Amino acid sequence: MAAIATAEACDSNAALLASGDLRVLQPIFQVYGQCRAFSGPIVTLKVFEDNVLVRELLETRGEGRVLVIDGGGSMRCALVGGNLGQLAQNMGWAGIVVNGCIRDIDEINGCDIGVRALASHPQKSNKRGIGEKHIPIHIAGALIRNGEWLYADSDGILVSKSELSI
């Protein structure tokens, strides 16, 4: 899949931006992983300081999708670490966006996927298995629905109701 530059996508899709069918996430995420630019259909997940469902989803075939995790913006523990980053790469996920923290940064930076997160935190999360999959989530000033498309590069992150073409 050819990478679409987010700036170019914004410039050439003014009508989609105006209608809300294309949204720009607030610039709150740090860039991690080998893939600085990535895109794919979105799988949504809402959890809080618990990464059991994160692992459960990443154990499925990614097929170029992007896992978008609403971790409530928690800065008290990490939802994704090096093992899950490697799992995501091995299972064919294009990327992971975490509204929360990750850890094992050096390991994640060695993975051939794109990762965005608020920050790093050394403490692991709880293991209760509580959360919701495939539901609308609200992060970084945007409503994100399962099945929409995410485009990320060094300039930012876009969410589109449908696949973009430039």
pLDDT digit string, tens, across residues 40-85: 999 999 999 999 999 999 999 999 999 999 999 999 999 999 999 9
The SS3 of residue 75 is coil
| Residue 63, pLDDT score | 97
Mean pLDDT of the chain: 96
Q: What distance in Å separates the CA atoms of residue 90 and residue 113, rounded to the nearest whole number?
A: 10
Q: 38: helix, coil or strand?
A: strand
User: Judging by DSSP bridges, how do beta strands 142-144 and 137-139 pair with one another?
Assistant: antiparallel
Question: Which residues does the chain have with pLDDT short of 70?
Answer: 1-2, 166
Does 155 show up as a binding residue in the annotation? no
153 in a labelled binding site: no
- Whether residue 83 is annotated as binding a ligand: the answer is yes
Identify the pLDDT of residue 3.
76
Q: 82 a known binding residue?
A: yes
pTM of the model: 0.97
109 is in an annotated binding site: no
**pLDDT for the residue numbered 85:** 98
State whether CATH 3.10.20.600 applies to domain 6-160: no
